[in-house]
Structure 1
Amino acid sequence: MSEPRSTSRHRHRRTRTGLAVGVPLALTAAGTLAYGITDLGVLGQASAAEAVPTWAADTADGFASVNSLGQNGTYGGRGGKTVTVKTLADLEKYATAAEPYVIVVAGTINMNPVGKEIKVQSDKTIVGQGTSGHIVGGGFFLGQGVHNVIIRNLTIRDSYQGIWNDKDHDFDAIQMDGAHHVWIDHNDLRHMADGLIDVRKDSTNVTVSWNKLSDNNKTFGIGWTENVKTDITIHHNWIRETEQRNPSTDNAAHAHLYNNFLEDAPNTDIGSSYGNYSRGATKMVLENSYFQGIKNPVIKDSGAAVVQRGSVFSGTSGRNESGGTAFDPKVYYPYSLDKAADVPSVLRSGAGPRADIGTTAAAGKAPAASTKAAAATTLTVAADGSGQYRTVQAAVNAVPANNPSRVVIAVKPGTYRELVKVPSNKPHVTIQGTGGSRKDTTIVYNNASGTPKPGGGTYGTGGSATVAVEADDFQARNLTISNDFDEKANQSIDGHQAVALRTAADKVFLDGVIVSGDQDTLLVDTAAKDKLGRVYVSNSYVVGNVDFIFGRATAVVDKSVITLKKRWDGTSAGYVTAPSTAANRKGILIANSTVNGDVSNGSFYLGRPWHAGGDASLDPQTTVRNTSLSAAVKSTPWTDMSGFSWKDDRFAEYKNTGAGAGSASSNRPHLSDAQAADQEVADWLAGWTPSAS
């Protein structure tokens, strides 16, 4: 950026708990932890020698992500060996083992005897290979104390014994009695003798997401205990042609249901008796779900609570109840809502097993020496020479020009002090760290705007970037990108802007990364003024102090932590964002995130307008919504820049929380509910749905 600003050295702050990779906001009940860079991604035991496929780096959201009972998030068998099974004997062998495993089910496995439930032990991921993983005639059981389990991308079906309301055959797809930290995701569960999912006997910290649940009498039961302990998140599930327990939630301490689609098709043999049921002393929050043709869509006991907001009821009848007080889910974890009207189409296309889960090649395994790099879909990088390339840039260079499909550059743990540029003619590139933590793999350099270039002149702000991305459909995950320019040692240099990552492309997805610097850390740009550039940052950390999220792109920072740093001289003062948005474009959106850091109270602005080159036609925009703001944020969070008033541009907040949040005023504009409905993540992404590939 053209305006000189002072900057800082990074100061660390230790916190008492770490974070699982991909779960940066495993919040306590108070929701006030401040995370420093030294605490990022400490969970996961994968060594440099172990391969971590892209999908295996995924971790749970919702209550399964919360740090409790000695378990910080749910990441399953990450860090253990990945094994592929095709027989019941092998599946049972690895699922019941004491050590962690990622178990890939490749093909159909028939349970013998029918109704068998494999007793899964802790630290397991059981995942179907694409859409081929089927468990027929039985399921899985998670007993007392079993924890950190992921069951994903499977079809579990057909233990039905011919009796609709079967009280003799307890043949469930997934049953848990006293388990905790369990993630059930992207499965197809159907036609079982009893329930599809039973969460019983004080099981807690459970997330059930993106599943298809169908063709069954009793769908999903929760509770069966006098204790009020269960914390459960149920989101983006398609529940179709089921009669009862959709779900039935008995004595749950916190039940958060959102963006589910309950459908009772007309003129079939299966009719719903009720939908979401809050029983006993349950406290339920129900948001933005869609009920189609359901009888008694929402019911509650007299002692239970249901807080409803935003759902659609189409062709429903009977009881639709709410009342009592519940809880604020955002105290425990971040999330974003799809519009209720969009839920049927979103789930028809997105629920159930996916072809891209369970099939990615292990990232740490190099192809045979005879394989041509240009034809490879996975290129490995290792500083010690154990990969195909020793530098990240060498692997980028090996990607063929105008490559038509995804190329994964799998980078083994280590520090790579180099400059990396992904040119515009190499789209569909993923750079992924293969370690157990995003701290394990670091790409770092130390150029600044005023650093002299070998051939004369200086680098300038954009040219200072450690990693520069000019190719569309780029992804980065499970690594750190840093600029460690030493400002204190370079006070004689004019221009301390030092970019860690510059993007000048469309459909850039940064997932589970750390982007760290001081001034101008993350530059979200576009290929040209008239080009669209969309950037989605999720489950990540962005660290800096002056204008450290800036540029003209349409950028979303979602479900992430923005860490504020002191400047090089120990002072606390700075600006989070500096958008330079074109008129009629979306700017920078910070949503469902946390802004904090080891800095003084009231010392940081949320943003200021950057009219690059003095261009008065620009209309900079930053919206910060549904985000926890620490006391470091000023009570007047926006300020002018280079003679341009922030009040002439687009700066606003919506439903933020924390000590740094404040009520609406002329110096602190808030969106109305109607305005906020048009400033959600989906509005920014404009038809693009980022997904790991």
Structure 2
Amino acid sequence: MGASAIATASTHEPPAPSTTAATATGTSTASEAIPVSDDDTADVITVETDGSGDFSSVQEAVDAAPAGATVRIGPGVYRGPVVVAASDLTLVGATGDPRDVVITDDRASGLPKPGGGTWGTSGSASVVISGDDVHSRDLTFENSFLREEHPEVTSTQAVAVRTTGDRLVFDNVRFLGHQDTLYANSPNTETTSRQYYRNCYVEGDVDFVFGRGTAVFHGCEIRSLDRGSDSDNGYVTAPSTPPEQEFGFLFTESCFTSDAPPESVYLGRPWVPSSDLDARPQALIRDSWMGRHFKEQGWIEMSSGHDWRQFQLREFANKGPGALNTPDRPQMSAEEAAGHTAEAYLAGSDGWNPVREPARPVCTARGR
């Protein structure tokens, strides 16, 4: 998504600001895990880098796992792309600390791929989850591509995770990247894919939460990386909600942090793909803490002819130095906000409700 620019990953951790939001750390082992199975006899497949588990490759373990199985991944860095096409599967880091288990690759949209051509945005993903009812917990998903190491590449979109499955849960998971980190998508414009992110950490600089999925970020830290500019350090969201889909992105009880200079980051920009010119992008940020890196003009168009004001890009009851109420930061009314809850976004026609209260404080700048 969007144009590239040189970015620098921040390693500084500002003090946690005061906030009433219940939120995430991604480094604690004390979180209340979301139940994934009532079957105590479910298969457990182990992965260890030293070969002491059932497999040493995450992909091999996923391919071998039967429905209902848990893939328990030992500490280490697992390099290479992973595709989770099977449904009803749990991926869990063995230590409970997501920093200990990293699944990573370093492809970017503009890098050449075997057989000719380039990877493209979708093909750049380190991890693809297309199966339904896949739960991930206590893991890090990363795209380690760095622009400064590839000055010859102009298309620098580099996805850490691309999702198209329904009823997906991510609990205490880190998503690391720069441009297009998390592609919260669906298989097509006619199919709604619901995704619940609890106690997670997502970082990036350009459009780093994007796609047409119905995604709820609950008690998460959303961290904008400093690209080295005094005035333009990117965009957080780029929703592309289909016109018949009721909901897009919801960020609730979360925290938006950055080391970037004040007023240098946009909340987002609507993505109207050439393949879906009828898209009606939606994003709501509510009951969250917002750092001073956000601009007074919260939203901006991505391409000409698609003015952000015609879409549902709004805020409600946020706090912090970046929670501004200006003509370019539309606020949702309390009456309407009553119907925009995590439960409402995820219910669908089957009444799915994975929602649990976040268990830990946020705004701890848990980055690289």
In structure 2, relative to structure 1, the CA distance for the partners of 1:628 and 1:13 (3 Å cut) is: same
Corresponding position of 2:365:
none
Corresponding position of 1:619:
280
Residue 508 in 1 paired to residue 168 in 2? yes
Report the AA paired with residue 259 of structure 2.
Answer: D
Between the aligned partners of 1:355 and 1:633, the Cα distance in structure 2 is 36
Matched residue SS, 2:122: helix
Report the AA paired with residue 9 of structure 1.
Answer: T
Equivalent residue in structure 1 for 2:209, among 532, 536, 549: 549
Between the aligned partners of 1:571 and 1:489, the Cα distance in structure 2 is 24
In structure 2, relative to structure 1, the CA distance for the partners of 1:445 and 1:394 (3 Å cut) is: same
CA deviation profile, 1:521-557 (whole Å, cap 9, x unmatched): 0001101211110111010100111100000001111
| Matched-pair contact (CA < 8 Å) for 1:439–1:479 | yes
| Matched-pair contact (CA < 8 Å) for 1:488–1:568 | no
Corresponding position of 1:444:
104
Residue 58 in 1 paired to residue 46 in 2? no
Corresponding position of 1:659:
321
Q: Which has the higher strand share?
A: 1
Equivalent residue in structure 1 for 2:122, among 462, 466, 488: 462
| Matched-pair contact (CA < 8 Å) for 2:133–2:168 | yes
In structure 2, relative to structure 1, the CA distance for the partners of 1:43 and 1:691 (3 Å cut) is: closer
Equivalent residue in structure 1 for 2:178, among 518, 528, 532: 518
Residue 689 in 1 paired to residue 353 in 2? yes
CA deviation profile, 1:222-265 (whole Å, cap 9, x unmatched): xxxxxxxxxxxxxxxxxxxxxxxxxxxxxxxxxxxxxxxxxxxx
Q: How does 1:315-330 map to 2 (within 5 A)?
A: none
Matched residue SS, 2:243: coil
CA deviation profile, 1:648-675 (whole Å, cap 9, x unmatched): 1111110000000122x43221111111
Equivalent residue in structure 2 for 1:646, among 308, 315, 339: 308
CA deviation profile, 1:7-61 (whole Å, cap 9, x unmatched): 5231211356xxxxxxxxxx66x3399x9xxx954445xxxxxxxxxxxx6349x
Between the aligned partners of 2:270 and 2:19, the Cα distance in structure 1 is 30
CA deviation profile, 1:415-458 (whole Å, cap 9, x unmatched): 111110012xx101111101141100000110000111011111
In structure 2, relative to structure 1, the CA distance for the partners of 1:571 and 1:380 (3 Å cut) is: farther
Between the aligned partners of 1:452 and 1:355, the Cα distance in structure 2 is 39
Corresponding position of 2:360:
none
| Matched-pair contact (CA < 8 Å) for 1:487–1:568 | no
Between the aligned partners of 1:407 and 1:568, the Cα distance in structure 2 is 44
Corresponding position of 1:435:
95
Between the aligned partners of 1:439 and 1:680, the Cα distance in structure 2 is 30
Between the aligned partners of 2:71 and 2:169, the Cα distance in structure 1 is 15
Between the aligned partners of 2:105 and 2:138, the Cα distance in structure 1 is 18
User: Structure 1 length normalisation: TM-score?
Assistant: 0.48
Between the aligned partners of 2:211 and 2:179, the Cα distance in structure 1 is 13
Between the aligned partners of 1:432 and 1:489, the Cα distance in structure 2 is 32
In structure 2, relative to structure 1, the CA distance for the partners of 1:398 and 1:527 (3 Å cut) is: same
Corresponding position of 1:630:
291
| Matched-pair contact (CA < 8 Å) for 1:566–1:572 | no
Report the AA paired with residue 378 of structure 1.
Answer: V
Between the aligned partners of 2:293 and 2:182, the Cα distance in structure 1 is 20
| Matched-pair contact (CA < 8 Å) for 2:343–2:355 | no
- Residue 565 of structure 1 and its aligned partner are, at CA, apart by 0.4
User: Structure 2 length normalisation: TM-score?
Assistant: 0.88
In structure 2, relative to structure 1, the CA distance for the partners of 1:480 and 1:571 (3 Å cut) is: farther
In structure 2, relative to structure 1, the CA distance for the partners of 1:481 and 1:571 (3 Å cut) is: farther
In structure 2, relative to structure 1, the CA distance for the partners of 1:635 and 1:420 (3 Å cut) is: same
Between the aligned partners of 2:99 and 2:53, the Cα distance in structure 1 is 19
Bigger radius of gyration among the two: 1
Specify every segment of 5 or more residues in structure 1 that has no aligned partner in the other structure, as ranges: 17-26, 45-56, 61-353, 362-375
In structure 2, relative to structure 1, the CA distance for the partners of 1:432 and 1:572 (3 Å cut) is: farther
Residue 603 in 1 paired to residue 264 in 2? yes
| Matched-pair contact (CA < 8 Å) for 1:9–1:570 | no
Between the aligned partners of 1:536 and 1:431, the Cα distance in structure 2 is 15
Between the aligned partners of 1:476 and 1:569, the Cα distance in structure 2 is 35
Corresponding position of 2:146:
486
Equivalent residue in structure 2 for 1:31, among 19, 35, 38: 19
| Matched-pair contact (CA < 8 Å) for 2:6–2:148 | no
CA deviation profile, 1:45-100 (whole Å, cap 9, x unmatched): xxxxxxxxxxxx6349xxxxxxxxxxxxxxxxxxxxxxxxxxxxxxxxxxxxxxxx
| Matched-pair contact (CA < 8 Å) for 1:543–1:565 | yes
Report the AA paired with residue 416 of structure 1.
Answer: Y
Report the AA paired with residue 672 of structure 1.
Answer: S
| CA RMSD, Structure 1 to Structure 2 (Å) | 2.5
| Matched-pair contact (CA < 8 Å) for 1:624–1:654 | yes
Equivalent residue in structure 1 for 2:64, among 379, 387, 398: 398
| Matched-pair contact (CA < 8 Å) for 1:622–1:652 | yes
In structure 2, relative to structure 1, the CA distance for the partners of 1:511 and 1:549 (3 Å cut) is: same
Report the AA paired with residue 391 of structure 1.
Answer: S
In structure 2, relative to structure 1, the CA distance for the partners of 1:435 and 1:621 (3 Å cut) is: same
Between the aligned partners of 1:622 and 1:540, the Cα distance in structure 2 is 18
Between the aligned partners of 1:355 and 1:560, the Cα distance in structure 2 is 20
Report the AA paired with residue 31 of structure 2.
Answer: D
Between the aligned partners of 2:175 and 2:285, the Cα distance in structure 1 is 19
Corresponding position of 2:4:
5
Q: What is the number of equivalent residue pairs in this alignment? A: 349
- Residue 623 of structure 1 and its aligned partner are, at CA, apart by 0.5
CA deviation profile, 1:151-193 (whole Å, cap 9, x unmatched): xxxxxxxxxxxxxxxxxxxxxxxxxxxxxxxxxxxxxxxxxxx
Higher mean C-alpha displacement, 468-477 vs 566-575: 566-575
- Residue 520 of structure 1 and its aligned partner are, at CA, apart by 0.2
| Matched-pair contact (CA < 8 Å) for 2:126–2:141 | yes
Equivalent residue in structure 1 for 2:199, among 539, 546, 555: 539
Residue identity (%): 36
Matched residue SS, 2:117: coil
CA deviation profile, 1:92-117 (whole Å, cap 9, x unmatched): xxxxxxxxxxxxxxxxxxxxxxxxxx
Corresponding position of 1:83:
none
| Matched-pair contact (CA < 8 Å) for 2:36–2:135 | no
CA deviation profile, 1:547-597 (whole Å, cap 9, x unmatched): 000000011111111011012789851111000001132111111100011
In structure 2, relative to structure 1, the CA distance for the partners of 1:415 and 1:568 (3 Å cut) is: farther
CA deviation profile, 1:359-409 (whole Å, cap 9, x unmatched): 757xxxxxxxxxxxxxx7111000011100001001011124xx3xx2111
